[in-house]
Amino acid sequence: MCVDTLPSAPQRPPFPFNGPEHLREPVIEALTRVVDPEVALSIVDLGLVYGVAIDDGLARVRMTMTSAVCPVADLIVEEVENELDRIVPAQCCIEVELCWEPAWEPSMMSRRARLFMHW
Q: pLDDT tens for residues 53-107?
A: 999 899 999 999 999 999 999 999 999 999 999 999 999 999 999 999 999 999 9
Listed in order, strand segments (DSSP E) in 5-72 are 17-18, 35-36, 41-42, 49-55, 58-63
Predicted model pTM: 0.87
| Domain assignment of residue 5, yes or no | no
| Domain assignment of residue 117, yes or no | no
The answer to whether residue 9 scores a pLDDT higher than 90 is no
CATH number at residue 86: 3.30.300.130
pLDDT band at residue 12 using 50, 70 and 90 as cut-offs: low
> What letter does residue 98 receive in the DSSP assignment?
E
Domain extent, residue 31, equals: 14-110
| Domain assignment of residue 45, yes or no | yes
Say which residue, 7 or 88, is predicted with more confidence.
Answer: 88
| Domain assignment of residue 8, yes or no | no
pLDDT, position 11: 46
Domain count, the chain: 1
Question: Alpha-carbon torsion 58, 12, 26, 29, what sign?
Answer: positive
